[in-house]
Structure 1
Amino acid sequence: MTASPRSRRRVLVGVSAVAAVSLGVGVAAGTRITSPEDAAAKTAAPKASQITVPVEKKALSSKVVGRGDASFDGAVNLRVETSGLNTPAIVTGKVPTVGSTITEGKALLEITGRPVIGLAGVLPMYRTLSPGSQGPDVLQLEQTLDRLGLDPGEVDDEYDTDTSRAVERLYEKAGYDAPEPSEPLRQAVDQADKTVDQMKNALRQAKAQLKQAKDAKAKDTSVQQGAVDDAEENLADAQEALYEAEFKAGTPLPVSEVVYVKTLPRRVDDVKVERGGTVNGVVMSASGAALVVTVKVDAQTAERLKAGMAATLDLGEGTAVAGKVRRITRNGDQYDVVVAPNTLTAKQLALFRDANVRVTIPVKSTAGKVLAVPVAALSSGPDGGSRVEVLRDGKVELIPVTVGLSADGFAQVTPSGDAKLSEGDQVVVGT
């Protein structure tokens, strides 16, 4: 059967439509077909680029930074030796308040109506001193009296009459009567004085008898003369005994009336007694009048520090004050670095007392501004020397350098030989 012309046209149009659709699908599919090489190129990481920073010109300062608690320097416990008292050690007055100052030569407490005078010294008061005493504690006393301008005579280890008089002046300066010698010593003086009077009378009688014998024209007055000689000798012995008794009855220094502290003045931190109470052991604790901050560091850090180094103490908010390292002492596996402010106003003292303080101690610094690069920019060359990589005109140049002070992540560098390195040059710190 033969198709009509209209039927043939519909078939041709249908075939053309299918072909056009197939061509579109093919083109679309073709755009999505990628070779393995193209796929690898498209998924590969981008080529690494170099990270650079400019060479800077700056002052470098290596420092130790830490935090520590503020306190008053050198706390000590004060004890009064009361074994020499014949009555209970009752506190009768002069009880200090916390925060008050112990001053050398002044009474820091009153026990049984008598003062306990604070003096500076390293040997404790362990016995009553009196005329005739000898030893290093006497030497310490005389050195103290001399320092206070109380004139103990020759400064030696013997407690003599000059020492007694200086002790009297010490008590007078403190506002108290000087201590009295013991009753037996006073009685010995009275007895010696009476003996001197008796010997004087005996001498007068012997001389009178000698005179009578001579007036009577006695041929032999040897007996009477012998009696005078004996009486004169006895009087001399009695006067010597009186001098010795008076010497021994000079002003003593009772063991219970002095407390030695290594250094004065000091601040009272705590009081352990009250008026009317009995002294038993520690009466108070005291520290230095100067406020300090103690920072704990390890052994390696301690090796970089020494007494006298400048420091800054800071509470923040504009409270920084200048100070110095006072001392460094070992404390177990660590070291205590004690830093003291140079000066403090009353307001600053109130702020710093018992506060936790930031302490900065410069250890070493450059003399002005120097070329500096980040420590990460340094590398080691084949010869073991240091170098930096400088990016110039898209190319990397290796510049040998001598490394100086390192601080805060930067290092001082100086180009070696004919190499050139200037502020602003871009050094490679990574890729």
Structure 2
Amino acid sequence: MTAAKPLSRFFSGNRVIWLLAAVAVVFLTAGIVIARFIESPADAAAKVAPPEAGLITVPVENRVIANDVSLRADVLYDESVAVAIDTTDISGTPVVTGQVPEVGTTIDAASVVLEVAGRPVIALPGELPAYRTLRVGVSGPDVLQLKQALAALGINPGNVESDVYDAATVAAVDQLYVAAGYPSPAASEEDAAALQSARDGLRSAKDMLAEAETALTTAAGGAPQSVRMEAQRVVNDAQRALNQAVTTRDTPQPAALEGEAPVSPQSLQDAVDSAQEALDIAIAARDEANAGTGTSSEVTARDNARAAVEQAQADLDTALESTMTALPAAEVVYFSNLPRRVDQVQTKRGTTLSGSTPFMSVSGADVVVEGSLAASDAELLEVGMTGTFPVPDGGGTITGTVSEIVAATESEAPEGEDGGEGEGGDSAKSSRFTVTFVPEGLTEEQIAVLLGQNIKITVPVSSTGEEVLAVPAAALTAGSGGESRIERAASDGTTALVTVETGLAADGFVQIVSSEQPLSASDQVVVGK
């Protein structure tokens, strides 16, 4: 009795522990019993025999089959180009002094796109860049381009088929500067000095010619009147002396007085001869006075003076041409087409231009969509085809027409781009093409949303247009002769090969144009086993 009490106290003090142990034993026993009657799915599947192999079939469908070419493209203004001028001929520092355009400004023909050192840079239509200053006498394709540009503005440059910069071109360029609101370019100090020197030279040459002509007139007209009259008086005196000598000779002489020598006839004859000689000399002197001296030296002097005047006039004409209005290369910039839109401006008032560094970028005024395609995809497109692309944020769908397909340069080929998303993409960058689309009916709001965006544009290149019989491409096999076949499955499980003619293929389906045996939608064809 005494021994039973400690045992009773042991069980009563650990009653909870004994209860938990009993519950654990019950659950363990139940788990063992239940496990004998439960199977896992894997065990159940392992005890089941594999199914018999069967055919995988799909129905023939009626559907529209369309083949599209999709590409990523950028929305931008067309023909973006950098604009620069040659500042080497600018006198002084090429500082931007005004007329700096704002982004979005439209540039028209004859617009002033910038003012440098107080002089305008005028926009004109043309393909050739301005590479030299045009002045009177020069010729070439750049002169012809200038004349055609002026004529397009309604300014008459003279003969537009002539490539010579002449006086008519000068007058037209003067009108261009008037339209731009600037004075025509002034002549350089050297040219102005040369012009003044040429004018002075011509004036001096004309004075020398006048003097030479006066000297020639004087020489050709003989001695002065007083000299001629004096010469005639001497002749008259000599004639009277001769007459007197003759009279004396012919008159009988009185006898000589005593003591005087008689007058000899010989002395009288000598007096006549002497008087005759004096008369002859006087007549010769008179004739010389009337005829004047020789004029050969005066004629030579006059001819030389005339040649000097002609040369001085030619020098003046050359100097005048040098001072006539020229068109400096730094005051004009040509664009292949106008109007243009200013996209970027890289200068500001007070900035000094450097060489031929661009001062702004411009583009066409029209929005285009431009993307790149591999040659295999580009071959599927033609100018005039249309594609569609969505405007972000639910702005609708826009249609664009292919306007140009050109081979892309290496720098234009995007890095790592595989081409379009249509059939037959090609990753060869060496054979890529740039495709340009012209979107239709864009609103200002849509332009604002789209500009600068990279969008996906889809171009349908071929389509059945309506629903046709089609099967998955996996349903087609090739016969021994290269013909296309399908395997049609009957409801009883049998199959039969049917030769078919295929059409357009797209999106994994192939059009059935005709078949050796009639086919209809819902017929089952085998695509696998």
TM-score higher than 0.5 = yes
1:76 and 2:76 matched: no
Among 319, 325, 343, the alignment partner of 1:245 is 319
Among 297, 310, 315, the alignment partner of 2:373 is 297
Among 475, 480, 492, the alignment partner of 1:377 is 475
2:461, 2:296 → 1: CA distance? 94
1:269 and 2:328 matched: no
When structure 1 is superposed on structure 2, of 237-246 and 339-348 the one drifting more is: 339-348
Among 473, 487, 511, the alignment partner of 1:412 is 511
SS at match of 1:198: helix
2:362, 2:484 → 1: CA distance? 55
In structure 2, what is the equivalent of residue 25 of structure 1? none
| 1:23-42 map, 5 Å | none
Q: Which amino acid aligns with 2:122?
A: I
In structure 2, what is the equivalent of residue 323 of structure 1? 401
Among 44, 65, 88, the alignment partner of 2:93 is 88
* Structure 1 residue 57: Cα displacement: 5.4
1:45 and 2:51 matched: yes
When structure 1 is superposed on structure 2, of 299-308 and 378-387 the one drifting more is: 299-308
Among 353, 363, 368, the alignment partner of 1:287 is 363
* Structure 1 residue 66: Cα displacement: 2.4
CA deviation map 1:345-384 (0-9, x unaligned): 3222212111232211222334665443332332222322
Among 422, 426, 444, the alignment partner of 1:346 is 444
SS at match of 1:248: helix
Q: Which amino acid aligns with 2:486?
A: V
Change (3 A) 1:351 1:321: farther
CA deviation map 1:376-397 (0-9, x unaligned): 3322223221122345665544
SS at match of 1:104: coil
In structure 2, what is the equivalent of residue 200 of structure 1? 206
In structure 1, what is the equivalent of residue 331 of structure 2? 257
Among 146, 168, 172, the alignment partner of 1:166 is 172
2:436, 2:160 → 1: CA distance? 39
In structure 2, what is the equivalent of residue 31 of structure 1? none
1:79, 1:170 → 2: CA distance? 21
SS at match of 1:311: strand
In structure 2, what is the equivalent of residue 11 of structure 1? none
1:169, 1:308 → 2: CA distance? 42
CA deviation map 1:220-242 (0-9, x unaligned): 44444444433333322222222
2:400, 2:448 → 1: CA distance? 16
* Structure 1 residue 86: Cα displacement: 2.6
Q: Which amino acid aligns with 2:123?
A: G
When structure 1 is superposed on structure 2, of 239-248 and 362-371 the one drifting more is: 362-371
Q: Which amino acid aligns with 1:249?
A: T
In structure 2, what is the equivalent of residue 118 of structure 1? 123
Q: Which amino acid aligns with 2:404?
A: R
Q: Hey, which of these two has a bigger chunk of helix by percent?
A: 2
When structure 1 is superposed on structure 2, of 350-359 and 191-200 the one drifting more is: 191-200
SS at match of 1:405: strand
- CA contact 2:81–2:362 (8 Å) conserved in 1: yes
Among 457, 468, 476, the alignment partner of 1:359 is 457
CA deviation map 1:243-301 (0-9, x unaligned): 22212222112232123445443322221111223223331122333323333434433
- CA contact 1:103–1:264 (8 Å) conserved in 2: yes
Q: Which amino acid aligns with 2:169?
A: T
What is the aligned residue count? 391
- CA contact 2:391–2:446 (8 Å) conserved in 1: no
| 1:209-228 map, 5 Å | 209-216=215-222, 218=291, 220-228=294-302
* Structure 1 residue 93: Cα displacement: 1.2
5+ residue gaps, structure 1:
1-38
Q: Which amino acid aligns with 2:500?
A: V
Change (3 A) 1:228 1:422: farther
In structure 1, what is the equivalent of residue 260 of structure 2? none
Change (3 A) 1:290 1:403: same
In structure 1, what is the equivalent of residue 434 of structure 2? 337
1:143, 1:63 → 2: CA distance? 45
* Structure 1 residue 94: Cα displacement: 0.9
The ranges of structure 1 where at least 4 consecutive aligned residues each deviate by more than 6 angstroms after the TM superposition are: 39-42
- CA contact 2:80–2:361 (8 Å) conserved in 1: yes
In structure 2, what is the equivalent of residue 399 of structure 1? 498
1:178, 1:97 → 2: CA distance? 26
- The normalised TM-score by structure 1 is 0.78
- The normalised TM-score by structure 2 is 0.65
RMSD: 3.3
CA deviation map 1:48-72 (0-9, x unaligned): 36533234253x3321112233222
Q: Hey, which of these two has a bigger chunk of strand by percent?
A: 1
CA deviation map 1:119-147 (0-9, x unaligned): 34454434333223345544544454455
| 1:97-116 map, 5 Å | 97-116=102-121
Percentage identity across paired residues of the two chains: 39
SS at match of 1:159: coil
In structure 1, what is the equivalent of residue 282 of structure 2? none
SS at match of 1:279: coil
- CA contact 2:63–2:466 (8 Å) conserved in 1: no
Among 377, 384, 388, the alignment partner of 1:312 is 388
SS at match of 1:404: strand
